[in-house]
Structure 1
Amino acid sequence: MASGLLKRKDTKQSGSYSGKEQASNFLSLVEEISPIVALDENNIVRFANASFRKEFRLRLASPVGKNLFNLLRLDSKEEANLRENLHKALKTKLQNQEFKKGKKSYGYSIFKFKNSLGMILKDITENKKLEKKIATLHTQVLASQEEERSRLARELHDGVGQLILAAKLHFQAYQKSEKEHPESFGSGLGLIDKASQELREIYTNLQPSSLKELGLEAALKSLANQIFPIQKIKVKSEFKVPEKIPQEIQNQVFRILQEICANILKHSQANKVELKIFSEKDTLVVSAKDNGKGFKEKEARINSTGYGLENIRRRTEDLNGTLFLETEPNKGTQYVLRIPLKKRSKEKV
């Protein structure tokens, strides 16, 4: 009987020891897996595992009590995006977000528990290099598209030139002899009207003349005022475009907003749109917001509507910019682009 009691006692002690061992193993796992940090609502660190401290080379005895952004020391563009996402995470879980620190790229997800925010990070630098190679191919496709648009614009312009030449011949015939060519004047006017209409369509859809002649601000005002009022959408625009923006940036920003406006018209069912452009230090900030039905970004990337979003994202990345997209079903959509205006050397792929 004593032997049985001893056996049960040994078993109980063994089970208790096993539980402690499991807890210790779990804590070791938490310390060594991906970098993890917990924050309060003011972005003050409440917990950081060993992997986080090692990844960001924190020499402090403990980063607890320190502000996350004082520890990470991100540039202003990356910090602004991370701050926006942390604020957004107070209401909803965020996954598959990114930021850059120096030459490294990190993916992260944020989740809320009790009064804290948890953040799990992963070094995705190598993945981004592979993506950049793919993006370069995509950029080449976009460049080919732009070149094709220019070629088509020239060819169509030549077509308009032929219409004008034909009109001139009609006017000359009418001028030479009104009696022999009484209908030539009317025919010439008809050809001029046709040429004018064709030119407007070409420049609007392929290579807007206002973009080159008057600049980005005038081109965007023309774009907004032409497409939204027809659909009974109230548009509020505030464009404060800095002077002497490189033509490449003007072209890409115009195409991006053209794509965004098309998405609003096709999918949003909005009746109000706000468009803003302003400069912030050496950064061009572009904002487009609607009060439409919104969408689920992940689903939009999968189905056919997602290509427009990818196009917007790639064009933004081509300018070394970032895109912040905030949308929820029935709560509208907002795009915020931040594009550096200082020239940056392109990395070799």
Structure 2
Amino acid sequence: MQIDDKYWDQRVIKRKNRKIISGASKESATYFELLNLLSLMPRDNLSLHQLMNALLNLILQITAMEAGAIYLKDDFSNTMELFVQEGFSQEYLNIMKTITIGRGFSGRAAQIGKVRVSQLRQGDPRFIRPASEREGFQCFICLPFRDDGFFEETLGILNMGSKKDVRLSTDTLSLLRLLSKQIGNKLANYKIFKLAAKRERWAEGLYSIAVEIQSLHDIPKICHVVSEEARLLFEADFCLVTITNKPSVPLTVAPAGCISQETACKLAAVFQENFREDLQAGSIIISGKMITKILNFSELKLEALCVVPVQIATNPCGFIALGYREPKNLTEEKKVLERLSNQLAAAIDNAQLYLRVQQLTAVKERNWIAREMHDSLAQELGAARLEIAKIKNHLENGQENKVFEGLSYLDNILKQTYNEVRQAILDLRIKTGTENIIEIIDTYLKDYSKKTGIALNSSLPSRLVLNPALEVQLVRILQEALTNVRKHSQADKVSVELKIDKGKIILTVKDNGCGFAVDKLPSNAAKFGLTVMQERAQAVGGKLYLSSEPGKGTEVRAEFPH
């Protein structure tokens, strides 16, 4: 057998054990082989299996025993499970697949953590099962692998039997006791390594999930991503994420793995009904027959289940459940799942906040559009209505010339109104939140110049990344400023500059039109959209500046924090 792993430093081990080894010269060579094997660091179950097989064969050589079996502690129960064996009959193995710690000769050795030797020629009442006597063993040895450091428990045990009357020397027994501790320490290192690797993988998985869900704003989508990723991360048979908006009323049920949507909904309802108070107190772990008894879901064939509540500001809003069809100790999984629950709660809270912001933004946007329509469309239509009333009077008085003049004026009003509506529709169609808002603005400016006949000079950065809210308000301010140029300035040239300067995003729109005295701004200034532009700038933490003089044009400058 060949194990391709690195060796650990042997100097400390050799120094501590030199006295014992010197008294057992016959076994010393084999003992050093054992030390070399123990120095190998198993990194997976396959290499551990190979290592234990090699250890078993060498210890059988030292002791001259005929058969041996190594058992390792089951993390889920108080038992030792058969791992590797050599020389035992199948009948023996059928009886001795499992050793209960504290019960029988081997179980007691595992409990106290000391080597036990029995001569079975005349029977031994410490053996509660007849398997060893049926094998015809005359000598039986139990070698527990105990760790007195990190775990402080017996992590495995080696049972050895011989049909010959083997008498072990004091030196050999000393070697076995020494080996017992060293193998226990190595098993502890192996478990620590495996636990550290698992925790590292879990940490990387949690980070990956957090990155994926932090940009999502759809709660069902968030739940499905968490459910799928958590099932893979924890290697579970199924994962279920349930979020509620009211007690006992599931809002989102997201299953993954060996569970259908229908069964998931039933399971969610059972948890909401029977475990609401338990989940308010914290996470719960259910195992074995209790799952079928409590949940009455025998079709899932579960052996282990961990359920962790999801809480937003201490208010329960759902749970995450992991299910396994094999017995499993879920203590470590529960701790990590609780961290994932916190990430899910934060993502849901952000999604709800985002939805509320979107709703408020939509309300504000509707109000701004309503005011803009009142300032332009409503006033134009009001003027048209007054002109129609005048035309009626002219008809009643037989003033045909004035009727035609009124109709011509009315036609101009309707054309202007049509153009206003058409331009407003085009403005609202501009899509923000795209990969490069600069391309959108540049296309809009070219289209504006072409349709209005106003020469436009622009200075734009090649690329600018803004948050969605700022993008919307910047574009709307630009549109309103250019609308004022078209309607009121009588300008034939306009310049648009967008730049980043000293940590600020600055938008400047300047025309060569008639201008006006800012300090003598008429009371109907809202007609020029100035109030709306100011409110839009303030909504995203910006400011609006206006400068103008009669005959010298107008400049509108908006500044936003970057």
Query: Under TM normalisation by the shorter chain, which class is it?
Result: 0.3 to 0.5
- Structure index of larger Rg: 2
**TM-score between both structures, scaled by the size of structure 1:** 0.39
The structure with higher relative contact order (CA 8 Å, sep 6+) is: 1
